[in-house]
Amino acid sequence: MTCAACAGRVERKLNKLDGVTATVNFATERATVSYPDGLDVGALVSAVEAAGYTAIPPQPATQSTVDGEATDERAEDLKARFVIAALLGLPVILLSMIPALQFPFWQWVALALSSPVVLVCGWPFHRTAAVNLRHGATTMDTLVSMGVAVAYLWSVYALIWGGAGMPGMVHEFSLLPRESSTADIYLEVAAGVTMFLLLGRWLEAGSKRRSGAALRALLALGAKDVAVLADGRERRIPVDALTVGTLFVVRPGEKVATDGVVEEGTSALDRSMLTGESVPEEVGPGTAVAGGTVNAGGRLVVRASRVGADTQLAQMARLVEQAQAGKAQVQRLADRVSAVFVPVVLVIAAATLAFWLLWGATASFALTAAVAVLVIACPCALGLATPTALLVGTGRGAQLGILVKGPEVLESTRRVDTIVLDKTGTVTTGVMTLAGVVPAEGVDRIELLRLAGAVEAASEHPIARAIADGAAKEVGELPTVADFGNNEGLGVQGTVSGRAVVVGRPRLLAERGVELTAELAEAVRVAEGSGRTVVAAAVDGVAAGLLMVSDTVKPTSAEAVRRLRQLGLRPVLLTGDNATVAAAVAAEVGIPAADVIAEVMPADKVAAVRGLQGEGRVVAMVGDGVNDAPALAAADLGLSLGTGTDVAIEAGDLTLVRGDLRVAADAIRLSRRTLGTIKGNLFWAFAYNVAGLPLAAAGVLNPMLAGAAMAFSSVFVVTNSLRLHRFRSWAE
């Protein structure tokens, strides 16, 4: 395909098949097709071939066809054609426009030099135009081929039959079409337009490859082979041969071959390409790891849990490709325009020729004006405006751990004015931690932690684990517990180093006849008022102190809320926790109490989102993508935070692989900037043609300059899109 009209033609041909829905992307040269089970893929390929093009079915997801090899070959071919066209065409332009260089019979030398340029270097334009004509269609190449052919054939006619071949014929320099006779030739127009368009197509091909670089880098992350472990011995096999449950070894500096769970060893993994997070993540036995991450530390033995197209890396790549294949609403308007543009331009060119001939102008002048109309009208930039911006924007997002589900998401980010933040796991870490210790008078803090931590270590309750882990960090190895007992919903008890220890809610101690001192009772009131969970400890029947546990606020959440406000959004905190805890968290991150919705059951989160929408607000929802999935789907814009799992990818419009809330602000910024780039590209593509057509029809535009301007309009659009590569995360 060479232009938006080609993509539109293939799309229409596919959509004529029963039950088929197709979208064709000019920039990525891919068709995304939904078709009924009974239809063979060969029928789709045949439909594309019937339109005058070729197609191959996609490769498996793990070996994406976004490898750029075809783009490289085309770029090299266009480069070779442009170099030859420049070497032969520039002398033609200089000879035609500088009278001082025009020696006797210079015009025949110009014909000899320009003929290979038009017929050989420009062959792709002519071949595509002929193929489409055979199928009863017209594209941008039809305009180019006709413009170049008319200028060249007129010149040949003028040289042989019109008197232009006589010795001493002189061309005067002019930026405007020349008002002259059949003794005039336009070889510089034919050679110049071909040369400039080849330059534009070559630069465009290179830019398209650069715009897809982020996705290729993502796909290249996967390891090529892996050392599997069987009977205590290692042997290397291709990654494609890995199966779920296989043990494999990851040495320092190697990539993790596929998603899995660490069985042996500890290390740090560099996850920057998957999540944008520059700080390596510590991993050990039981930790889930993703394929493509790099082992920065010790030797790991990993058991494969997902392989091939099921891995997180493959899911990310698939999501990015889906986004790039889609079309924003603004692009659909451009498609409708380009579908009728070429026939309209042909009519305008014919009308221009007829008008000037009837007005009394020479055939040479009328023909030149018509050629200028054909050349200036080619809206190649129109077909590149949306796809290139999407390629670069979604690719840059993938580098930062932001996955955009489709271009329609970009439209939503512009309208959103309220952003609902789920508390647990989004604003907070979602993991209970030991947040404070208050020993009773005369009790040593370390001894309190040692005894309470030992009893809690025997329990699997999240609060117990938080106390045990916090105690172990301060005390070291905890002693063993004897006579352990669990009081469901209240606490635990046991014997540690010969001492009777009870740890649990203050109510449990009261039931055992243990009363808290006035100081400890006041500490309980203050802690609960700040949203912390309080656990009391008694040793040998006497109150020994308090341990406070809380789900801590992520250190970046307050900054993220500030950033969201800067984007004009109103943050709202949504949680199932009680109002006291919710108010404490909201105050810490800078959300007013009036914007807190607390004590909401997971099933009622949808109603909370609907309530805000009922107030006339356009709502974005940020959640962890699992229990928040219904609310994410109900929101105008759903942002799944943190895990990059199957559910998160399916539930949200935007998936944020890293668990940093600041990335939500980055995602909205990047989406808005990508949408702005698309609109800017479309404006300039339309404005260029709208401004140029009247000038060409009025006979005040030299066709060669029109060809140069048209070629560079495509380059401008692609270059403007490439500016999205410079987008920087606030978290960087």
How far, in Å, CA of 272 to CA of 257, rounded?
Answer: 16
| Number of alpha carbons in the 13 Å side-chain half-sphere of residue 223 | 28
Q: C-alpha 622: how far from its chain's center?
A: 18
Q: Which residues contact 712 (CB under 8 A, 6 or more apart)?
A: 196, 200
DSSP assignments along 375-395, one per residue: HHT--HHHHHHHHHHHHHHHH
Buried residues in 107-135 as b, exposed as e (16+ CB within 10 A): beebbebbbbbbeebbebbbebbeebeee
Residue 422 is a catalytic residue: yes
CA distances from 697 to 272, 368, 382 (A): 55, 10, 21
Confirm if 614 and 591 have CB atoms less than 8 A apart: no
Tokens read off for 170: 């002189």
Helix%, strand%, coil% for the chain, nearest 5: 55, 15, 30
How far, in Å, CA of 595 to CA of 585, rounded?
Answer: 12
Q: Which of left, alpha, beta for 541 (phi over 0: left; psi -120 to 50: alpha)?
A: left
CA neighbor of 663 nearest in space, from 727, 725, 731, 728: 731
How far, in Å, CA of 589 to CA of 562, rounded?
Answer: 9
How far, in Å, CA of 144 to CA of 124, rounded?
Answer: 11
CA neighbor of 81 nearest in space, from 161, 187, 199: 199
Q: Which of left, alpha, beta for 59 (phi over 0: left; psi -120 to 50: alpha)?
A: beta
Tokens read off for 411: 């439209």
Confirm if 585 and 428 have CB atoms less than 8 A apart: yes
Considering the candidates 141, 184, 422, 624, report the single residue annotated as catalytic.
422
CA angle 299, 302, 307 (to 5 degrees): 135
Tokens read off for 274: 């998957």
Q: Which residues contact 325 (CB under 8 A, 6 or more apart)?
A: 23, 25, 28, 30, 32
CA angle 710, 10, 687 (to 5 degrees): 25
Q: Which residues contact 261 (CB under 8 A, 6 or more apart)?
A: 286, 287, 288, 289, 302, 303, 305
CA distances from 127 to 1, 89, 106, 124, 603 (A): 12, 20, 30, 5, 61
Name the burial class of residue 680, with classes exposed (0-12), middle (13-18) and buried (19+) by CB atoms within 10 angstroms of its CB.
middle
Q: Catalytic residue numbers?
A: 422
